[in-house]
């Protein structure tokens, strides 16, 4: 099986998402017409995990924990590990609703969500357009800027640009140190902090070779925060903030998922007004992108107290070390109750 073109996924916009992606999926997934829908009365929940993105292993852990919680809640559920976007179609025969914990790639950029919409399968969380916006860091930055939500200054290098000249121009516009990251990756995959012109060029060429288009942003000295947004049944709200303190370097993939590599302070020890401001812009970012049900908003709090939104994640991790479950626990919401609230956002 082949997956939908990653280049198409990265550049999807609001109009093309609705107009062209269903046709693309219908053409590429030849067995679509053979899918037999289960009866709504079955009420079986298929937990989708795995996928073919670099975040596959994290997704599988998320899937196992979510499926276990659903079992504790007395739900009829099944964990379905998929390898690529095309596997979703036969997987959907496993249940009549879907809980998607695929991270990165087609699982998070709106492709899977739109396929579920095409097939009339209900699922919790954000709709395809919001997923597509949030997965593309360039589009996220543009939308947030237009909504007066602060983001770090940055520049995007597209496929056709010369990397050496782009890096030279970037150094004229932005001071070192800088952050370089792929346009469409999660879990800090491909993210580097660079402190010299030589390092910038080397990292830029490496990231471009592995992931394609990338963004370079001004590094914001300060504190790393994350805000979990959750519809608790009383409307969407920001849960207690999480401060992330890596024991070494920055919050990279290893620091996120290797036990003992990071200290998590929940709730973050902040001045009341600062905390309220961070929650306010986090919820504003969630809404500006059109997210629904739940999300995770990553924030950099500058030394002068100014918050900057780094990115919004529509399919946040659900591992025991993930930020959303930590924030929920600080709000008095245990893991099964969190899953129940998230699954209550089925549309």
Active site residues: 55, 187, 257, 296, 298, 311, 313, 317
What are the C-alpha distances in Å from 107 to residues 232, 270, 272, 280, 310? Answer: 24, 34, 36, 28, 21
List, as own/partner pairs, every contact residues 28-37 make where C-beta atoms lie below 8 angstroms and the sequence separation is at least 24, other chains included.
28/2, 28/4, 28/86, 29/85, 29/86, 29/89, 29/115, 31/89, 31/90, 32/89, 32/119, 35/89, 35/90, 35/92, 35/93, 35/119, 36/93, 37/96, 37/119, 37/120
What are the C-alpha distances in Å from 344 to residues 82, 232, 292, 298? Answer: 24, 9, 12, 24
Closest CA to 346 of 294, 287, 288, 285: 294
Q: Give the whole-angstrom CA distance, residue 156 versus residue 174.
A: 13
Give 15-44 as a DSSP string.
Answer: HHHHHTHHHHHHHH-TTGGG--PPPGGG-E
Q: Give the whole-angstrom CA distance, residue 23 versus residue 25.
A: 5
Task: List the structure tokens of 202.
Answer: 């080397």
β 44-50/97-100 pair status = parallel
Residue found by looking up tokens 């602060």 in the block: 150
CA torsion angle 186 192 193 197 (round to 10): -140
H-helix or E-strand containing 295? strand 294-302
Angle at 286 between CA 213 and CA 176, to 5 degrees: 45
Task: List the structure tokens of 266.
Answer: 């929940």
């Amino acid at each position: 099986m082949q997956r939908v073109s990653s280049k198409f996924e990265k550049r999807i916009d609001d109009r093309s998402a609705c107009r062209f992606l269903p046709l693309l999926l219908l053409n590429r997934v030849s067995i679509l017409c053979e899918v037999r829908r289960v009866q709504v009365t079955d009420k079986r929940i298929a937990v989708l995990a795995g996928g073919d993105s670099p975040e596959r292993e994290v997704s599988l852990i998320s899937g196992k924990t979510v499926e276990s919680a659903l079992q504790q809640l007395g739900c009829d559920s099944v964990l379905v590990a998929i390898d690529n976007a095309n596997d979703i179609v036969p997987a959907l025969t496993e249940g009549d609703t879907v809980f998607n914990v695929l991270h990165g790639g087609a699982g998070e950029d709106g492709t899977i969500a739109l396929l579920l919409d095409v097939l009339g399968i209900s699922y919790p969380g954000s709709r395809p357009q919001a997923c597509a916006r949030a997965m593309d860091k360039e589009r996220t930055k543009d939308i947030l800027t237009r909504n007066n939500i602060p983001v770090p200054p940055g520049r995007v290098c597209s496929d056709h640009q010369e990397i050496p000249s782009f890096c030279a121009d970037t150094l004229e516009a932005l001071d070192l140190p800088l952050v370089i990251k792929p346009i469409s990756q999660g879990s800090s995959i491909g993210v580097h902090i660079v402190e010299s012109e030589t390092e910038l060029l080397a990292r830029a060429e490496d990231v471009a070779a592995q992931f394609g288009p990338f963004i370079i942003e001004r590094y914001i000295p300060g504190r790393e925060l994350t805000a979990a947004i959750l519809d608790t049944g009383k409307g969407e709200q920001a849960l207690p903030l999480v401060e992330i303190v890596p024991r070494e370097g920055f919050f990279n993939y290893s620091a996120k998922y290797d036990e003992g590599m990071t200290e998590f302070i929940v709730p973050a020890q902040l001045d009341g007004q600062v905390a309220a401001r961070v929650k306010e812009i986090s919820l504003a970012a969630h809404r500006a992108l059109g997210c629904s049900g739940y999300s995770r908003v990553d924030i950099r709090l500058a030394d002068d107290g100014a918050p900057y939104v780094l990115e919004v994640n529509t399919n946040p991790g659900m591992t025991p070390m993930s930020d959303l479950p930590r924030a929920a626990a600080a709000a008095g919401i245990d893991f099964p109750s969190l899953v129940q609230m998230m699954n209550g956002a089925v549309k």
